[in-house]
């Protein structure tokens, strides 16, 4: 998309804003792509950003400022790629893929390249040590943030977002076996620091 998004100053802009809430993602994307429609873009943004932000926040380990930056970059990349999107998947799925790539790029830039191998016992020991240093009770979100980046990415995508191992492997550029192993060790690590009442999915 080459047009700059600008506010629609027409008198019926409010009515158009109401109308966009019932339009499909495809209709809204086309309006942005063809006309640079600001109202359509804002509708897409409001529709998808809350879930996108939570995903990115968890993958990055709980840094709100960093998650904001990654989400904004995700939308920039998405709007400049609308011409190439062929609707072979849902818009939300495509957007999630861009967000994951941006999150991984961010982790690399700050020297936190996700690691998918290593000694699970050492990871477990470090997680328990980190949890013990927190005065208040460790809840699920805080425990997820304490996981190593590789463990956390697989756990969030599988147990919280519902992606199958095959898709996780493709998105993270790892094998399905590695994805399953990381999920097993992530669940084990989380159980070691969580209250017994916090449910986790089974080891499937």
Check which CATH number belongs to the domain holding 174 and give it. 1.10.10.10
Q: What is the pLDDT of residue 22?
A: 79
> Which are the contacts of 10, defined by CB distance < 8 A and separation ≥ 6?
16
Q: Is residue 186 part of a domain?
A: yes
Q: What is the pLDDT of residue 63?
A: 83
- From 79, 109, 139, the end of a domain falls on 109
How many whole angstroms separate alpha carbon 64 and alpha carbon 80? 25
How many whole angstroms separate alpha carbon 183 and alpha carbon 52? 21
Check which CATH number belongs to the domain holding 32 and give it. 1.10.1740.10
The answer to whether residues 76 and 161 belong to one domain is: no
The answer to whether residues 105 and 124 belong to one domain is: no
The answer to whether residues 127 and 105 belong to one domain is: no
Q: What is the pLDDT of residue 33?
A: 92
The per-residue pLDDT for range 124-134, each reduced to its tens digit, is 666 666 566 55
The answer to whether 155 and 141 have CB atoms below 8 angstroms apart is no
Q: Is residue 165 part of a domain?
A: yes
CA-wise closest residue to 177 among 117, 124, 119, 112 = 117
pTM above 0.75, yes or no: no
Q: Is residue 30 part of a domain?
A: yes
The answer to whether residues 18 and 104 belong to one domain is: yes
Q: Is residue 33 part of a domain?
A: yes
Number of domains in the chain: 2
Q: What is the pLDDT of residue 2?
A: 42
For residue 49, give its domain range: 13-109
- From 82, 109, 136, the end of a domain falls on 109
The per-residue pLDDT for range 136-166, each reduced to its tens digit, is 555 778 888 888 888 899 999 999 999 999 9
Q: Which stretches of the chain score pLDDT less than 70?
A: 1-21, 112-138, 195-204
């Amino acid at each position: 998309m080459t047009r700059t998004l600008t506010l629609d100053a027409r008198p019926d802009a409010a009515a158009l804003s109401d109308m966009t809430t019932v339009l499909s993602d495809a209709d809204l994307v086309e309006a942005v792509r063809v006309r640079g429609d600001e109202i359509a873009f804002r509708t897409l943004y409001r529709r998808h950003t809350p879930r996108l932000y939570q995903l990115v926040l968890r993958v990055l380990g709980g840094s709100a400022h960093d998650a904001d930056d990654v989400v904004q970059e995700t939308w920039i990349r998405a709007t400049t790629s609308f011409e190439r999107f062929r609707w072979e998947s849902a818009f939300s799925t495509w957007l999630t893929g861009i967000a994951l790539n941006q999150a991984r790029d961010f982790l690399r830039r700050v020297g936190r390249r996700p690691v998918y191998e290593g000694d699970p016992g050492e990871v477990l020991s470090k997680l328990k040590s980190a949890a013990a240093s927190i005065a208040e009770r460790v809840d699920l979100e805080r425990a997820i943030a304490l996981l190593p980046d590789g463990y956390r990415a697989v756990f969030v995508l599988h147990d919280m977002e519902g992606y199958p191992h095959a898709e996780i492997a493709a998105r993270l550029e790892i094998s399905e076996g590695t994805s399953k192993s990381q999920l097993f060790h992530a669940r084990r690590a989380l159980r070691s620091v969580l209250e017994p009442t916090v449910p986790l999915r089974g080891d499937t």
